[in-house]
């Protein structure tokens, strides 16, 4: 007895466009985070924080964290263009780490950090749309 397969599920053009946009956003965000990381490494007095913040981190160390994460974010964004499932999983994990890292960066550059957190959440939403990633 042969089992019938379900009809092929068509992928929404909006979902595919969202995935491509998510990859482009991750590439762009990676480049901008690298610039912020270089700025913190080369001029640690550029970012200033008030005295009443719970997390006290060295700005130069923060710059190195930004720089390393920026490379990983950009690579994950480039991998999304392949539409492979592993690329989606990596992108979700990297976006979660990036959102957390930018949350800790709030006192140094609040507008940028909030913008990056919002984009990371959007990337997670876009990648989790059903049917856009292939299981190859």
134 assigned to some structural domain: no
Asked whether residue 32 carries a pLDDT value surpassing 80, the answer given is yes
The overall average pLDDT reported for the chain is: 83
pLDDT at 60: 84
- 86: in domain: yes
| 109 or 75, higher pLDDT | 75
Short-list 125, 103, 97, CA closest to 115: 103
Residue 81 falls inside a structural domain: yes
Q: What are phi and psi of 84, to 5 degrees?
A: -90, 150
Backbone angles phi, psi at 123, to 5 degrees: -60, -45
Backbone angles phi, psi at 120, to 5 degrees: -65, -40
**Total number of domains in the chain:** 1
Average pLDDT value for residue range 130-136: 68
Q: Which residues pair with 134 in a beta bridge?
A: 84
**Is 21 within a domain?**
no
Averaged pLDDT for residues 10-18: 72
> What's the domain range around 77?
31-46+55-127
Residue 10 banded pLDDT, cuts 50, 70, 90: low
pLDDT tens digit sequence for 37-79? 898 898 877 777 666 666 667 778 888 988 999 999 999 999 9
How high is the pLDDT of residue 5?
A: 45
Helix axes 13-42, 110-127, angle to 10 degrees: 150
- Please indicate, yes or no, if residue 8 is contained in any of the structural domains: no
Higher pLDDT, 92 or 130: 92
**45, 12 contact by CB (below 8 A):** no
């Amino acid at each position: 007895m042969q089992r019938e397969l379900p009809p092929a599920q068509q992928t929404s053009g909006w979902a595919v466009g969202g995935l491509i946009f998510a990859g482009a956003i991750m590439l762009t965000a990676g480049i901008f985070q690298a610039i912020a990381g270089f700025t913190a490494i080369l001029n640690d007095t550029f970012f200033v924080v008030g005295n009443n913040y719970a997390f006290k981190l060295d700005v130069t160390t923060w710059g190195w964290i930004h720089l390393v994460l920026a490379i990983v974010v950009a690579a994950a964004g480039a991998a999304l263009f392949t539409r492979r499932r592993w690329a989606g999983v990596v992108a979700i994990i990297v976006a979660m780490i990036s959102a957390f890292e930018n949350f800790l960066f709030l006192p140094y550059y609040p507008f940028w950090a909030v913008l990056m957190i919002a984009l990371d959440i959007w990337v997670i939403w876009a990648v989790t749309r059903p049917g856009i990633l292939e299981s190859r």
